[in-house]
């Protein structure tokens, strides 16, 4: 995936995040990676489907983010599901620590991208949706789609 917009190359999106969670606040974090992980990311071989972030010992870590092993790598290739450290400013970390302690909030990665050659992750403070919330969101999306169709049809007439 090479969607370029102002120096940003998107590697992968977590589209299910907005379906499964109410995304409250988003922020950008840098990633601490090994060489073969960077090469895999440049090839677009990443998945954020089951990933989440945790605060541990005053630092932020990305858990379960899958970065495929580099095809031309040797025995020193990386573990695809290893825990990766996220780099954020201390002030953002303190703000997140306060908000993530609130019951029901979790940190979900929504996007992974390159910005000026550096790997970044967009992490959102999220609250889980129930089945009723998901059905309501689906109804709203369908209503928006229907309104867009009608307005498009009216413009043609």
Mind listing the pLDDT tens digit for each residue in 8-60? 888 888 888 777 777 888 889 898 888 888 888 888 888 888 888 888 888 88
Q: What angle do CA 7, 50, 5 make, to 5 degrees?
A: 10
pTM: 0.73
| Residues ≥6 apart with Cβ < 8 Å to 60 | 29, 53, 54, 85, 86, 88, 93, 96, 107, 123
The CATH number of 8-129 is which of 2.40.50.140, 3.30.360.10, 2.40.280.10, 1.10.150.20? 2.40.280.10
pLDDT tens profile 113-154: 988 888 889 988 877 777 777 787 788 888 888 888 888 777
Flag whether pLDDT at 6 surpasses 70: no
């Amino acid at each position: 995936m090479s969607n370029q917009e102002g120096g940003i190359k998107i590697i992968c999106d977590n589209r299910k995040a907005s379906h499964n969670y109410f995304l409250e606040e988003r922020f950008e974090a840098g990633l601490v990676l090994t060489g073969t992980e960077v090469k895999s990311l440049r090839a677009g071989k990443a998945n954020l489907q089951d990933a989440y972030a945790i605060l541990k010992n005053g630092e932020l870590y990305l858990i379960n983010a899958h970065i495929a092993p580099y095809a031309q790598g040797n025995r020193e290739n990386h573990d695809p599901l290893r825990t990766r450290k996220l780099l954020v400013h201390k002030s953002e970390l303190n703000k997140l620590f306060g908000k993530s302690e609130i019951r029901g909030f979790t940190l979900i990665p929504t996007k992974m991208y390159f910005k000026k050659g550096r790997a970044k992750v967009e992490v959102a403070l999220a609250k889980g949706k129930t089945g009723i919330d998901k059905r309501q969101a689906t109804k709203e999306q369908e209503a928006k789609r229907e309104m867009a169709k009608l307005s498009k049809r009216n413009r043609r007439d």
